[in-house]
Amino acid sequence: MQYIKDQDNLNEKRILLRLDLNVPLKNGEITDQTRIDKILPIIKFLVQKKSKILIISHVGRPKGKVKNELSLRPICKNLEKKIDKKIKLIEENIFNLKKEDLFKDSSDQIIFLENIRFYKEEEQNDANFSKHLAKLADIFVNDAFSCSHRAHASVSKITEFLPSYAGIQLETEVKALKKVTSEIKKPISCIIGGSKISTKIGIIRNLIPRFDNIIIVGGMANNILKYKGIPIGKSIKEDNCDTIIDDIFKTAKTHSCKIIYPEDVVVGKSLKDKAQIKELDKVLDDDYILDIGPKTIDKIKDIIEISKTVLWNGPAGYFENPSFANGSYQIAKKIDEKNKNNLIYSIAGGGDTISVLNQINAIENFNFVSTAGGAFLEYLEGKELPGIKALN
Ligand code: 3PG
Ligand code: MG
């Protein structure tokens, strides 16, 4: 892997810079800035080198369609303020863009392309699309560790058409994760939550041999409950997961890894509702499970108490509504208390998890915080991520 930091002659070079500015948005407002703050070093570095910077990012999952609410505009404006420099957002169809259309004014130094996932070719890792993107620049830099687990055109395929380098944040994250994962002390517990069930459920099975306890909360826990024959009402779930869950429990038994999942829950009739604690068998057809209940919180706290290392990705509930944030906050507070007394080695990853930690000022005492969620888990699995492999 070659690092952009070590390169000279970047003057006037056009850098196609892949970032992960997939930040949480609520009514067009950015609710957590961490991912933006983390890429300021690469922007400042390239500005100083007098490069021309063409930024690519995605936000959300528009699935190849233009969706106004997933425009990069608010993120572009936010970055503009932070670096005190004008940034142009190009909304024109990328396929109509030519190299000479960009950086026409001598004052243009940073240009944003609109959400790259507005193009279906992005997720298809399409070679023609990548070739077209490559024609707009001289060098490719991946500074998006948190989406390097995606074999997408602007992460993976693009490296076949341009000299490609690792950015500053990607380098930092990969080196730090390598270090922390080689120094892990047992017992190790992993808390996995969030709503990206399909991304994470397969990973759990592969993590089992390395962990003593795996605590499943958030959306994924619904699938476990359903598998156990417990009613989950209208809660989010993924279809066809029973075979993999079967495998998770069998593998856990072989490796003496404890799988912990909710013993009680907090429900609402909608995402905007107030919280109602329920025993598992009391969940009604029109209930949404939106957080873990008090018994489950106590159980998780006991496990954190006896752990020497804890890794956490994904909130325990729909923390965007304060009524359903308690489970995530309680987990964060318990780890924070152990952190403060140096009793645990703690690693957290993912945009939403960072957001939870920031909300209750628990981020500072973590030993390492990764901007990555899915990529962080796949890294822990020991997989070579497509975006990293492409740079090697
Ligand atoms: C993330 O938020 O984990 C990354 O931006 C990747 O997003 P994705 O899960 O939609 O691919
Ligand atoms: Mg995310």
Convert the pLDDT of each residue in 211-237 to its tens digit.
999 999 999 999 999 999 999 999 999
Whole-number Å distance between alpha carbons of 339 and 348 = 12
107 burial level (CB within 10 Å; 0-12, 13-18, 19+)? exposed
Residue 67: predicted pLDDT: 96
Return the ligand 1 atom nearest residue 146 CA. Answer: 4
Residue 284: predicted pLDDT: 98
Residue 183: predicted pLDDT: 80
Q: Integer distance in angstroms from the first to the last C-alpha of the chain? A: 5
Whole-number Å distance between alpha carbons of 214 and 218 = 13
CA distances from 306 to 186, 188, 189, 213, 310 (A): 10, 9, 9, 11, 10
Strand 88-90 and strand 52-56: pairing?
A: unpaired
Nearest CA to ligand 1 atom 4: 147
Sheet holding 276-279, edge to edge: 276-279, 264-268, 288-292
For residues 391 and 164, the answer to whether their CB atoms sit within 8 Å is: yes
Ligand nearest to the CA of 194: 2
Residue 179: predicted pLDDT: 85
Ligand nearest to the CA of 378: 1
Nearest CA to ligand 1 atom 2: 22
All residue ranges of the chain with pLDDT < 50 are none
Return the ligand 1 atom nearest residue 60 CA. Answer: 10
Sheet holding 368-370, edge to edge: 258-260, 213-216, 188-192, 309-313, 345-349, 368-370
**Residues with beta carbon < 5 A to ion ligand 2?**
351
Return the ligand 1 atom nearest residue 373 CA. Answer: 3
* Percent of the chain with pLDDT strictly greater than 70: 100
Residue 146 one-letter amino acid: S
Residue 356: predicted pLDDT: 96
Please give all residues whose beta carbon lies within 6 A of any atom in ligand 1, as ranges.
20, 22, 61, 146-147, 150, 196, 199, 351, 373-374
Mutate to test the pocket of ligand 1, among 18, 58, 70 (most ligand atoms within 8 A of CB): 58
For residues 79 and 36, the answer to whether their CB atoms sit within 8 Å is: yes
Mutate to test the pocket of ligand 1, among 18, 19, 22 (most ligand atoms within 8 A of CB): 22
Long-range contacts of 328-331 (CB under 8 A, 24+ apart): 328/193, 328/291, 328/356, 329/356, 329/359, 329/360, 330/297, 330/300, 330/301, 331/191, 331/217, 331/297, 331/300, 331/301, 331/304
Contacts of 182 (CB under 8 A, 6+ apart): none
CA distances from 48 to 10, 52, 183, 254 (A): 10, 10, 36, 55
For residues 132 and 162, the answer to whether their CB atoms sit within 8 Å is: no
Structure tokens at 228: 């156990």
278 burial level (CB within 10 Å; 0-12, 13-18, 19+)? middle
CA distances from 347 to 88, 140, 183, 361, 371 (A): 36, 30, 12, 15, 11
Ligand nearest to the CA of 199: 1
Whole-number Å distance between alpha carbons of 291 and 142 = 35
